[in-house]
Amino acid sequence: MGKTENVQMLGITVKKDEDFSEWYNQVVQKAQLADYGPVKGFMVIRPHGYALWEAIQNYFNKVMDKHKVSNAYFPLLIPESFFRKEAEHAQGFEPELAWIEKSKGEESKDEERVAIRPTSETIMYDSYAKWIRSWRDLPLRINQWCNVLRWEVKQTKLFLRTREFLWQEGHCVYATKEECDKEVRLFLDAYKKMVEELLAIPVIAGKKTDSEKFAGALYTTTIEALMPDGKSLQMGTSHNLGQGFAKSFGLKFLDEESKEQLPWQSSWGFSTRLIGSIVMVHGDDKGVVLPPRIAKQKAVIVPILFDNAKEKVLKKCSEVEKTLSSINAFVDDRENYSPGWKYSDAELKGIPLRLEIGPKDLEKKHVVVVRRDNGKKEFVKEKDIKKRVGEILEEMHSDMFNKAKKFMDANIVEAKNWSEFEKGIKSKKMVSVHFCGDASCEEEIKSETTATSRCIPFDQKKSEGKCVKCEKPSKEKVLFAKSY
Amino acid sequence: MGKTENVQMLGITVKKDEDFSEWYNQVVQKAQLADYGPVKGFMVIRPHGYALWEAIQNYFNKVMDKHKVSNAYFPLLIPESFFRKEAEHAQGFEPELAWIEKSKGEESKDEERVAIRPTSETIMYDSYAKWIRSWRDLPLRINQWCNVLRWEVKQTKLFLRTREFLWQEGHCVYATKEECDKEVRLFLDAYKKMVEELLAIPVIAGKKTDSEKFAGALYTTTIEALMPDGKSLQMGTSHNLGQGFAKSFGLKFLDEESKEQLPWQSSWGFSTRLIGSIVMVHGDDKGVVLPPRIAKQKAVIVPILFDNAKEKVLKKCSEVEKTLSSINAFVDDRENYSPGWKYSDAELKGIPLRLEIGPKDLEKKHVVVVRRDNGKKEFVKEKDIKKRVGEILEEMHSDMFNKAKKFMDANIVEAKNWSEFEKGIKSKKMVSVHFCGDASCEEEIKSETTATSRCIPFDQKKSEGKCVKCEKPSKEKVLFAKSY
């Protein structure tokens, strides 16, 4: 059957380097990762997209288990008074809160106004204040996987900017600042490792400037990735909250000398926007390219059927499927679809490997293995399949990571003065530059270039210089870029 | 150190058979399974309780994977117009909806009124209508794990009756009624198996009467468990939704002859109330008793320390911990707590096994193993530990299930007439009785006895009789009980 029309319908109609934004929207929807919901700003995460989130959850649950973080669940609705308790925090989230109508009659008239959580610091710490009594209860490390809601008015972008999204938020309490500092970095480093090892995306870890830190935090650390359009994407943050929330919510503990002390707190989170970053960094004109380690089904087996050897070919496909069960290989045995149509479908969805098996391959006792990222074909002897496919997947992971790393490295430039800075931002680079750290200076830079500070990278040589904007002395360089 | 006061504080101050309701409230909170949230009707699920939910999720995700159900995520907020599309469904949920305030200025004035999902049929089927085109797209099987909200005004009971709870909701679409019927039962049977095998709780599977079926369903099937206070707890339901939602939301498909057809739909769900059932069925005056298969940490190892052998004992404890790592055994090596305090703490939390290791046990090359459910002590040779502990855990599971089964069987009685029926309900039994199925008749029974029909058990002999209330002919027996 001629299925050319379908291939066209399935395919992406714009090129990644011609209209990046439209390309992204098409890929996300046509590859069935996500759809727009019926309410403005909301998304439906479809099974193919949700499986990526589950892979991330499985990976990170193991990391948290190792570091003695327990999962829990706190209420969706937060009382108005809680937002008032920590002034900076309240101010940061107020404009984006969705409040619940009081329409329940008598019952709710006595009840306080409540909003859907934009993040859970306040409601979690209200409980923490009840649970923590002595130094024996510390450190307390709790995480929750949940939905949060921020009533953004900017244009929706699936996975990247939606009013509701899924995330994890870890919230820890420590006896000392030192412990808190140490673990703020511990979880940021765990994020970096996960993003690089599972998503094959290189990131830069650093500290946020005061203007960009979390509302209510002492300081914020972040991992930032560079997208192909030159914009930086914040992939995860880890905050030292200091003792401000503890004061506001009444957290205290008796130390070993039975003296009352204020504890230190941290919080850290990443969200479903990670899925968007996978699409943007690795995708191509044919669709998604899934990094092999995160793909649940790592290989599709496509039978090339001719009447004379139909059964034999299908039997072999089924054998190979079993051989590769640990990577969830599956046979695409849908009838009435041509092999070409199946190739396109698997490419659109980003399945890492395609195995082709036809009558000639049976004769030669090999299978054809095609990599999604670079289209490279390899004939693999039947007896070597399991071993070789495992190797190819790992090679693919490294190649994808290295390609993205090369792109990132090539697109971070140093600026010595304002004109170099402006030129860098205009030409879609991340620009590393001396900067004083002042909020007013940062605001000026933003209004002139639309770029914001992304982070003060941890990994930089000591250097003295002058702020690119105000020329006050600066002791470290800051990365600026446009951002999502 | 004398820690008697603490043991008292930790302990449950009422007996299960004296004040069941207060006993339940104390156990749930003191064992740190859950707490009340700051907003009326909301709960905080603490790590010890959430771990049970995670065990249930892990178990059931495997079941769904086997039956080709994919997880996905749909929006939290549902437009008002969606609730209007299916009349019965709308009527069922209307009183419990929480609406979002329109206070966002310009932006939201054009937007429709939205409510937090009480269940997701409507918003999921809106997407399904877009995704389904032909018979090739069927069956479609999607599940989501999420929070839902029903603004109940009845008194809150942790895990059993809260405004927000966590659940899974499976939503499937089929080409024929036969397939739909078959899988409605398939997932109900999977629930029964899970509850019996993982939670060690026996249930009765059956069909709901029309009065008790899900709003908008053709019919509802259920599994019901008997709680120690004689009330029935609905543990999970599986509905055949017929074609009503398909009509209302525009789901249709082209069959193999390219004719347009209406599909059949099912939905099925269970919630965090399952955690409440574990507490009620298995708990005792000392606290929770966790069924071994659901407990993450299946054994606590308590060192009995004397100055002369402290290091040796701790070393042995650590060895045993390693030997039993597959059941997540852990040493309670907290200082300043006596072994007795640790025993009480582990009993309160319901850890299935306690291993005691002291100097004498080292000499005799054994450890003492104590079962949480019946307190039975056993000396297990060091070399047999792994094997024997595994066996004891399985024995414990069977004994707990059988004990609950015996209780249930002894508390289901047959009634031949109204007086026997009333007597049965009054004496806290589930009563099996002939019943006509009429809503009006059921309403009368409810107003006179507060009992409702729980289910028409699948597993019953054919029998002819007369309705216990109106004496119209009846062809099957129905189980009635008070319920949660």
- For residue B211, the distance in angstroms to the closest alpha carbon of chain A comes to 25
State residue B6's pLDDT score.
42
Looking up residue A155, the CATH number of its domain turns out to be: 3.30.930.10
Residue B444 lies in a domain: yes
A151-171 burial, b if ≥16 CB within 10 A, otherwise e?
beeeebbbbbbbbbbbbbbbb
A386-441 confidence digits (pLDDT tens): 999 999 999 999 999 999 999 999 999 999 999 999 999 999 999 999 999 999 99
Residue A55 confidence (pLDDT) = 98
Residue of B nearest to A58 (CA): B58
Picking from A351, A367, A395, the residue at the C-terminal end of a domain is A395
Q: Which of B51, B54, B104 has the CB atom closest to A151's CB atom?
A: B104
Cα separation of A434 and A460, whole Å? 12
* A400 assigned to some structural domain: no
From B47, B76, B111, residue closest to A149, measured CB to CB: B76
E-assigned strands of A43-152?
43-45, 70-71, 77-79, 114-116, 140-149
- Note whether residue B402 is domain-resident: no
Residue B248 sits in the same domain as residue B305 = no
> What is d(CA A113, CA A116) in angstroms, rounded to the nearest whole number?
11
The answer to whether residue B322 is domain-embedded is yes
Q: How many beta carbons lie within 10 A of that of residue A411, not counting itself?
A: 18
Rounded CA gap, A251 and A261, in Å? 9
B326 and B263 belong to one structural domain = no
For residue B373, the one-letter residue type is D
How much is the CA Rg of chain B, to the nearest whole Å? 26
Cβ atoms within 10 Å, residue B402: 12
Using the 3D structure, point to which of A256, A282, A308 is the last residue of a domain. Answer: A282
Tell me which chain A residue has its CA closest to the CA of residue B101: A101
Helix A47-66 × helix A177-198 angle, to 10°: 140
- A122: nearest CA partner in chain B: B38
A vs B, Cβ pairs < 8 A, gives: 138
Which neighbouring-strand residues pair with A43? A36
Residues A154 and A62 in one domain: yes
The CATH number assigned to the domain holding A421 equals 3.30.110.30
pLDDT at B111 over 80: no
Are B65 and B152 found together in one domain? yes
Q: Please, what is the end-to-end C-alpha distance for chain A in angstroms? A: 44
DSSP state string for B65-117: HHTTPEE-B--SEEEHHHHHHSHHHHHHHGGG--BBP--STHHHHTSPPEEE-
Check whether residue B332 and residue B278 sit in a common domain: no
Model confidence at B3: pLDDT above 70: no
Determine contact, residues A454/A481, Cβ cutoff 8 Å: yes
Q: Which residues of A touch B114 (CB under 8 A)?
A: 39
Q: How far is A473 from chain B (nearest CA, A)?
A: 43
For residue A334, which residues of chain B lie inside 8 Å, CB to CB?
Answer: 136
B406 within some domain: no
Q: What is the mean pLDDT of residues B368-380?
A: 98
Q: Give the containing element (helix H, strand E) for B364.
A: helix B359-364
The reply to whether A143 and A250 lie within a common domain is yes
What are the DSSP calls for B196-264, one per residue? Answer: HHTS----EEEE--GGGS-TT-SEEEEEEEE-TTS-EEEEEEEEEEETHHHHHHT--EE-TTS-EE--E
- Do A314 and A367 fall into the same domain? yes
CA dihedral A406, A408, A409, A412 (to 10 degrees): 160
**Residue B292 included in any domain:** no
- Looking at residue A106, its pLDDT comes to 47
Report if residue A2 sits inside a domain. Answer: no
CA atoms within 13 A on the CB side of B310: 5
B85 plus B203 within the same structural domain: yes
Q: Select the more confidently predicted residue: B321 or A336.
A: B321
Residue A184: the pLDDT is 98
Asked if residue A172 lies in contact with residue A178, where contact means CB atoms within 8 angstroms, the answer is no
pLDDT score, position A153: 82
Shortest CA distance to B149 belongs to which of A128, A104, A90, A126?
A104
* List of chain B residues whose C-beta atoms are within 8 Å of the C-beta of residue A142: 47
pLDDT tops 70 at residue B395: yes
Tell me what the mean pLDDT of segment B291-308 comes to.
Answer: 94
Q: B222 — phi, psi (to 5°)?
A: -150, 155
Q: What's the rounded Cα separation, in Å, for the pair A413 and B389?
A: 62
What is the model's pTM? 0.96
Domain co-membership, A443 together with A335: no
pLDDT for B108 equals 54
pLDDT in tens, B36-75: 999 999 999 999 999 999 999 999 999 999 999 999 999 9
Q: Are B474 and B453 in contact (CB under 8 A)?
A: no
* ipTM entry: 0.95
Residue A395 CB-density burial (10 A; 0-12 exposed, 13-18 middle, 19+ buried)? middle
- Same domain (yes/no): B22, B154: yes
Q: Is residue A406 in some structural domain?
A: no
Taking the C-alpha atoms of residue B121 and residue A350, their distance in angstroms, rounded to an integer, is 30
Whether B258 and B308 share a structural domain: no
Mean pLDDT in chain B? 94
Interchain contact, B101 vs A99, CB within 8 Å:
yes
> Domain range holding A363?
299-395
Closest residue in chain B to residue A36, using alpha carbons only: B127
CATH number at residue A310: 3.40.50.800
Q: A35-39, A43-47, B103-107, B353-357: lowest mean pLDDT where?
A: B103-107
- Copy the structure tokens of residue B377: 């002590």
pLDDT given for residue B86 in this prediction: 83
pLDDT band of A104, cuts 50, 70, 90: low
pLDDT attached to residue B152: 85
For an interface test with A, the pick among B76, B106, B145 (most A C-beta atoms closer than 10 Å) comes out as B76
- Give residue A22's pLDDT: 97
User: Are A58 and A190 part of one and the same domain?
Assistant: yes
- Say how many domains are in chain B: 3
The predicted-structure confidence for B215-256, as pLDDT tens digits, reads as follows 889 999 999 999 999 999 999 999 999 999 999 999 999 999
